[in-house]
């Protein structure tokens, strides 16, 4: 669930609906009231424009996993050696 007011810049984000697999921009979402279970409290949340579900997720970017040793090695390789840093 993505509650209205907590999602910054949602209009520009990619969003997906879990039940119906709809995908689109946050600007296309509709809104509605969702009752908290066994409570008189309602949340104002975004809902899917296709099926009306509140089960929405923001699409994230998948990053390649790297072991810590590989990251350190890449950083060391990117730094110039001391002989390259010496003045001519």
pLDDT tens, 3-55?
787 777 788 889 999 999 999 998 999 888 989 888 899 988 989 999 999 99
As a 3-state breakdown, the chain gives helix, strand, coil percent values, each rounded to 5, of 25, 25, 50
The residue ranges of DSSP E strands in the chain, in sequence order, are 14-17, 23-25, 30-35, 42-47, 56-58
Least Cα distance to 3 among 67, 54, 76, 52 occurs for 54
Which residues, other chains included, contact 32 with Cβ-Cβ below 8 Å and sequence gap of 6+? 44, 45, 47, 52, 54
Select the more confidently predicted residue: 51 or 75.
Answer: 51
Mean predicted confidence (pLDDT) in 46-67:
84
Tell me the three state secondary structure of residue 68. helix
pLDDT attached to residue 85: 54
């Amino acid at each position: 669930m993505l509650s209205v007011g907590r999602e910054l810049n949602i209009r520009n984000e990619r969003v997906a609906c879990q039940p119906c697999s709809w995908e689109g921009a946050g600007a296309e979402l509709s809104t509605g009231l969702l009752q908290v279970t066994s409570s008189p409290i309602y949340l104002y949340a975004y809902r899917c424009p296709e099926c009306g579900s509140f089960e929405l997720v923001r699409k994230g970017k998948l990053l390649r996993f790297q072991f810590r040793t590989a990251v350190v090695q890449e950083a060391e390789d990117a730094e110039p050696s001391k002989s390259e840093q010496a003045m001519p």
